[in-house]
Amino acid sequence: MAARAIWKGSLKIGKTRVPVKLFSAVSDQTVRFHLLDDRAKMRVKQHMVDPNSGEEVPNEEIQKGYEIEPGTFVILTEEELASLEPEPSRDIEITEFVPPEKISQQWYERPYYLAPDGDQKDYFGLIEALQKREVEGIARWAMRKKAYAGAVRVVDDSLFLFTLRTASEVISAEQLPKPAGRAPTQKELDMAKQLIAAMEGEFDAKEYKDEYRERLMKFIESKGKGHKPRLSSVKKKRVSTSLDSVLARSLAALKKGKKAA
């Protein structure tokens, strides 16, 4: 099935507007379950109840509150929340261009495809300019009642838009505890270099699958056909955890694999 655009607008650079369509670049494959009544096998509904009386609270009596200290809430009405939403817009405005290395990977959140919508001349002209300058654009826009910041970059001759996390969401490495313990020996460093060299290769996305999801869906499909699939537990092997022995085993296994090939 062909992908459907989730948003249409313009990529704004100064006074220039490039018509674009936004497509999701990833798909959520989480297995979701319904909650059923154990006897009737019917879906059950969730209700808001008073924790003290156990009585259901009607929707018109439910309010939204933000807890500013234990037991103290600031109540916000739907009208107040709506007035604080960003103004709707159909522009993704690029405010500056920066080298890709200036943005660390932890800032990137969700990827989208930016496809041309109509005349493609300016679209591919922008791709060529970004490739020549080796930069990506920092952009701001509003979508579905939320303001976003993002990065526009070229990937495989197409424009991608990555939403960026806010500064309050990104944890700096300086906030982490300093590593403790002994420094690796020269022997361990040499073995680590050999291991990295032996494992160098090309990234093949087809090799990386959600094995748990595949096992789960296979189990559900079999059970749905009336079968009783066997449940097998995964046995764990106890191994030495010293860096020296781990590296030695890894190198030995790689050499054995290459000889067999």
Q: What are the residue ranges spanned by the domains of the chain? A: 7-27+85-164
- For 146-163, the DSSP string reads EEEEEEEEEETTEEEEEE
In this structure, what are the phi and psi dihedrals at residue 255, rounded to the nearest 5 degrees?
A: -65, -40
CA pair distance 230, 236, nearest whole angstrom: 19
Whose tokens are 């493609």? That residue is 120
Q: What angle do CA 201, 206, 207 make, to 5 degrees?
A: 60
The CATH number assigned to the domain with range 7-27+85-164 reads 2.40.290.10
Q: Is the pLDDT of residue 240 over 70?
A: no
Question: pLDDT exceeding 90 applies to what percent of the chain?
Answer: 60
Q: How many CB atoms lie within 10 A of CB 112?
A: 22
- 55-67, pLDDT tens digit by residue? 999 999 999 999 9
Percent of the chain at pLDDT exceeding 70: 91
pTM of this structure: 0.77
Whether the predicted pLDDT of 261 surpasses 70: no
Confidence of residue 234 (pLDDT cuts 50, 70, 90): low
What pLDDT shows up at residue 10? 96
